[in-house]
Chain A
Amino acid sequence: MKILIVEDEPSLNKAMVDYLHHQQYLCESVNNFHDALEKTESYEYDCIVLDIMLPGGNGLELLRQLKANKKTEGVIIISARNELDDKLNGLQLGADDYLTKPFHLPELSARIAAIIRRKNLQGSTIIKFEEIEVDVLAKIVTIQGKEITLTRKEYDMLLYFLVNRNRVLSKDAIASHLWGADADLAENLDFIYTHVKNLRKKLLQYGAGDYIHSVYGMGYKFSLK
């Protein structure tokens, strides 16, 4: 999977590249409008992560040109401008998603994964991890072929873990993903703990390995060991 990151802030750009690289994505990055235009004209990507305010031009303009050139890349806009207009304009111009800075890297990774899944509908819609299989189209989870019933939050959490496997996910990142604007409340009440506990119990019950690990009170990690 090839991803183009268009972000002018070098340290943020690097952090995104590093994180996504670990998620087995092939990342290329540029830091201005013209390089971005050149790259998108010459190569094909699965997903483009696009900042709006760029040296040399506006990210929305780039998006307009992509759509004019009938490019099929998924586009996710990342912007510091929380302006509703920008969000609506972006989505109207054909962006697939919109993230406001500062976002959590696992959230970006989850959104990218979702976009790529949507774009490759003819491809596999199954996410696999050892004996766990998730059919994201039918929203069905099976363990060793047996279907397992999860609540919506548990399902979302499992998917989030699978997309960000082997990464330490902070409680706030998980809470923001599951509860959005109510994350502060959920986090404060240590609500995530209850949900993680329930999900873990269910997975173990159906014979899956113990993959959810608590990491130094910081957050959780979904991995083999």
Chain B
Amino acid sequence: MKLFSKYNRINIAVSIIVFLVGCAAFYFVLRVVLIRQLDDALHTEQTEIIAYVQSHNRLPEVVNAYNQQITFTSIEKPLRGSIYISEKIRDREKDEIEWSRKLIFGITVAGINYQATVTKSQVETEDLLQMVIMVGAGMIALILLAGYVINRMVIKKLWKPFYTTVHEVEQFQLAKQQALQLPVTGTNEFDLLNKCLTTMTSRAQQEYQVVKEFSANAAHEMQTPLAVIRSHTEALMQDEQLLQQHNASIKTIDQSVNRLTRLNQDLLLLARIENGQFPLQEKIELDKIIQQKSEELAELLSSLKITCQIQTVPVRISGNQHLTEVIVNNLLKNAIRYNVEGGKIIINLTPQKLIISNTSSLPALEAGKISQRFYRHPETKADGNGLGLSIVKQVCQVTGYTLQYDYQHGMHIFSILL
């Protein structure tokens, strides 16, 4: 639900309640005021009648008007004080029941006690109150209508800068060193939002730059010592007397440097993928990559007597050439590395999916663990540093592919959903 709809809903609900309460209060207050006014009029009449009786010592003649009737009824005991009451009476002319206000008081004329009743119609008061209720209802209807109209016409315009900002933020990429461009809107809240976003993104860009430089620096810092160790190991190798005496040590150093070098390269690649340092809009012919890679590995495959079935259709995707090669490379190398002599590899490429399945001496793997960094199956004897599938997964994450693992009929099946 949109923010304004939420606000509007509350606003309208509260308005309706306030109006209802207001109308009710208005109704009662007005009623009291009008009845008091009526009572005043009745009282004036009473005063007039009493004055008339005192000066003339007889009852006045009664002239009944439309909205006022006076009656005198003789009673035995004198009536003290006066009573105001509202009463429903039947209007004989209109045959309707109407409210009327009565004032009853006692009066004594020439020793005879009378009960005087002055009646005034309350119809006008009721009419007025009805009007008040109608105006109230009309106001509520107007509020609802106005809310709807504002929502429809004004809000869209008012929130336009917000959606512009959202769109810009969506388009924003950290890896591209472009500042976020947000227009001045003239609305304080949006300007504040835009200002904060611009500051935040530029800070993120700065920090991204630091991280990026860090990965480059880490490479420099690690690789130079590695280069030193490797070059000196290779220099040591040239001394055959030394090599004869210490060949196990030199071999171990050499192998360790090689392992460390590959590990370092893989970790750097992971860092670079994470940092989004690869453009992802390149046009890629996936089937060609697979074809080329399998040709490169053909020799290795035949020496291991591994049969490789390849089924491809031309598949064009957009992504990063290098990273796509990395995916194919890592999956294929794994399929060979963990295979058995005389085993099988099946590569199947459709526009939706790349499936690489292989035989192996290993049982089914835990799907949740395969892409964990440095995870290797406990029974595996083959080398490898446990980063191959982590890299594949990382590439999948940045490119929007999905890596899936399945084990069926003795085949380990790795699929990339494109």
Taking A19-B235, A101-B226, A185-B336 as contacts, is the C-beta distance between A216 and B247 under 8 angstroms? Answer: yes
Write the nearest CB–CB distance from B204 to chain A, whole angstroms: 21
Q: Closest B-chain residue to A185, C-beta based?
A: B333
The answer on a CB contact under 8 Å between A9 and B228 is yes
From B155-163, B237-245, B342-350, the one touching the partner chain is B237-245
1/0 per residue A159-173: CB within 8 Å of B? 000000001101011
B231 contacts chain A at the CB level, 8 A cutoff = yes
Cα A153 to Cα B298 in complex, Å, equals 13
CB contacts under 8 Å to A, within B379-415, are: 382-384
B18 contacts chain A at the CB level, 8 A cutoff = no
Cα A167 to Cα B243 in complex, Å, equals 12
B36 contacts chain A at the CB level, 8 A cutoff = no
A72 contacts chain B at the CB level, 8 A cutoff = no
The answer on a CB contact under 8 Å between A218 and B237 is yes
Taking A80-B224, A182-B296 as contacts, is the C-beta distance between A167 and B238 under 8 angstroms? Answer: yes
A105 contacts chain B at the CB level, 8 A cutoff = yes
Q: A81 contacts which of B220, B231, B322 (Cβ < 8 Å)?
A: B220
Q: Closest A-chain residue to B218, C-beta based?
A: A80
Cα A80 to Cα B216 in complex, Å, equals 8
Write the nearest CB–CB distance from B411 to chain A, whole angstroms: 20
Taking A182-B296, A188-B383 as contacts, is the C-beta distance between A19 and B254 under 8 angstroms? Answer: no
Q: A170 contacts which of B227, B234, B304 (Cβ < 8 Å)?
A: B234
The answer on a CB contact under 8 Å between A101 and B223 is yes
Chain B residues in 8 Å Cβ range of A189: 300, 303-304
Chain B residues in 8 Å Cβ range of A137: none
The answer on a CB contact under 8 Å between A168 and B228 is no
Write the nearest CB–CB distance from A12 to chain B, whole angstroms: 5
B61 contacts chain A at the CB level, 8 A cutoff = no
Q: A11 contacts which of B232, B250, B261 (Cβ < 8 Å)?
A: B232
1/0 per residue A68-102: CB within 8 Å of B? 00000000000011111000000000000000111
Chain A residues in 8 Å Cβ range of B254: 170, 172, 218
Chain A residues in 8 Å Cβ range of B277: 83
The answer on a CB contact under 8 Å between B224 and A12 is yes
The answer on a CB contact under 8 Å between B227 and A18 is no
Chain B residues in 8 Å Cβ range of A196: none
Cα A46 to Cα B208 in complex, Å, equals 41
B299 contacts chain A at the CB level, 8 A cutoff = yes
Write the nearest CB–CB distance from A60 to chain B, whole angstroms: 14
Write the nearest CB–CB distance from B10 to chain A, whole angstroms: 55
B13 contacts chain A at the CB level, 8 A cutoff = no
Number of interface residues of B (CB under 8 A): 48
Chain A residues in 8 Å Cβ range of B43: none
Q: A80 contacts which of B227, B230, B235 (Cβ < 8 Å)?
A: B227
Chain B residues in 8 Å Cβ range of A18: 235
B307 contacts chain A at the CB level, 8 A cutoff = no
Chain A residues in 8 Å Cβ range of B299: 153, 191
The answer on a CB contact under 8 Å between B240 and A101 is no
A138 contacts chain B at the CB level, 8 A cutoff = no
Chain B residues in 8 Å Cβ range of A81: 216, 219-220
Q: Closest A-chain residue to B279, C-beta based?
A: A84
The answer on a CB contact under 8 Å between B251 and A188 is no
Chain B residues in 8 Å Cβ range of A186: 300
Q: Closest A-chain residue to B254, C-beta based?
A: A170
Cα A153 to Cα B297 in complex, Å, equals 12
Chain A residues in 8 Å Cβ range of B265: 82
The answer on a CB contact under 8 Å between B243 and A168 is yes
Write the nearest CB–CB distance from B19 to chain A, whole angstroms: 68
Taking A215-B243, A218-B243 as contacts, is the C-beta distance between A101 and B234 under 8 angstroms? Answer: no
1/0 per residue A185-225: CB within 8 Å of B? 11111010010000000000000000000011111000000
The answer on a CB contact under 8 Å between B232 and A83 is no
The answer on a CB contact under 8 Å between B234 and A19 is yes
The answer on a CB contact under 8 Å between B235 and A15 is yes
Cα A146 to Cα B302 in complex, Å, equals 30
Q: Closest B-chain residue to A106, C-beta based?
A: B234
The answer on a CB contact under 8 Å between A219 and B237 is yes
Write the nearest CB–CB distance from A61 to chain B, whole angstroms: 17
A104 contacts chain B at the CB level, 8 A cutoff = yes
Cβ contacts A to B, 20 pairs, < 8 Å:
A15-B232, A18-B235, A19-B231, A22-B238, A105-B235, A153-B299, A168-B243, A170-B233, A173-B234, A181-B329, A182-B297, A185-B333, A186-B300, A191-B299, A191-B303, A216-B251, A217-B247, A218-B247, A218-B250, A218-B251
B interface, CB within 8 angstroms of A: 216, 219-224, 226-235, 237-238, 240, 243-244, 247, 250-251, 254-255, 257-258, 261-262, 265, 268, 277, 296-297, 299-300, 303-304, 322, 329, 333, 336-337, 382-384
Please give 8 more A-B residue pairs, beta carbons under 8 A apart, in addition to A105-B235, A182-B296, A182-B333: A80-B221, A82-B268, A83-B219, A102-B231, A172-B254, A184-B383, A216-B251, A218-B254
Q: Which 10 A-B pairs have the closest CB atoms?
A: A102-B227, A15-B231, A80-B223, A101-B227, A102-B226, A216-B247, A80-B220, A101-B223, A168-B237, A102-B230
A interface, CB within 8 angstroms of B: 9, 11-12, 15-16, 18-19, 22, 53, 80-84, 100-106, 153, 167-168, 170, 172-173, 181-182, 184-189, 191, 194, 215-219
